[in-house]
């Protein structure tokens, strides 16, 4: 069974940092691009960051660029999100997401085919 298990969330003060982890199982982690998606209380889904299978390419939403860092350890099947300079507006449930892909010549197209259950980050003094 494909599973994503997030951890590392909690209550943190503005300006501090947190590191989220996502333990993956049930699929070949090193072959899949991965993402983090967040959802503020009562709000819609917001893409945060993505990383390609070998970790060489990373992408960030403008709202977190320069503050958050996505990384992965393919030897340990784990995805990370380092969150620095936390702000109140970073308060959200953070979901780890596996990107599925389908081929339509001449390229691959992506979607999120597996979601974790989420970990809650609260930024407040």
Partner 1 sequence: IVLTQSPGTLSLYPGERATLSCRASQSVSSSYLAWYQQKPGQAPRLLVYGASRRATGIPDRFSGSGSGTDFTLTISRLEPEDFAVYSCQQFGNSLMFSFGQGTKLEIK
DSSP symbols for 25-94:
ESS-GGGS-EEEEEE-TT--EEEEEEE-TTS--EEE-TTTTTTEEEEEETTTTEEEEEE-S--GGG-EEE
Query: Toward partner 1, which CB reaches closer, 75 or 109?
Result: 109
**CB of 98 vs partner 1, minimal distance in Å:** 10
- Name which of 17 and 89 has its Cβ closer to partner 1: 89
Strand pairing report for 18-25 and 78-83? antiparallel
Q: Which residue from 29, 36, 80, 95 is in contact with partner 1, where contact means CB under 8 A?
A: 95
> Of 13 and 111, which CB lies nearer to partner 1 in the complex structure?
111
Torsional class of 54: left (φ above 0), alpha (ψ -120 to 50), beta (otherwise): alpha
Asked if 44 touches partner 1 (CB under 8 A), the answer is yes
Among 20, 22, 24, 33, binds partner 1 (CB under 8 A): 33
Separation CA 117–CA 6 (nearest Å): 7
Out of 77, 115, 120, 122, the residue judged to bind partner 1 by CB under 8 A: 115
Binding site for partner 1 (CB under 8 A): 33, 35, 44-47, 50-52, 57, 59, 61, 95, 99-100, 102, 104, 109-113, 115-118
């Amino acid at each position: 069974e494909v599973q994503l298990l997030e951890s590392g969330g909690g209550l943190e003060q503005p300006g501090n940092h947190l590191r989220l982890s996502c333990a993956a199982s049930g699929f070949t982690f090193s072959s899949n691009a991965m993402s983090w998606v967040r959802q503020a209380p009562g709000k819609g889904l917001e893409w945060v960051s993505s990383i390609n299978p070998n970790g060489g390419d990373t992408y960030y939403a403008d709202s977190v660029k320069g503050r958050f860092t996505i990384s992965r350890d393919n030897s340990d099947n784990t995805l990370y999100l380092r969150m620095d300079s936390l702000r109140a507006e970073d308060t959200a449930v953070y979901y780890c997401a596996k990107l599925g892909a389908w081929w339509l010549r001449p390229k691959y197209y992506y979607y999120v085919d597996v979601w974790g259950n989420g970990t809650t980050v609260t930024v407040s003094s």
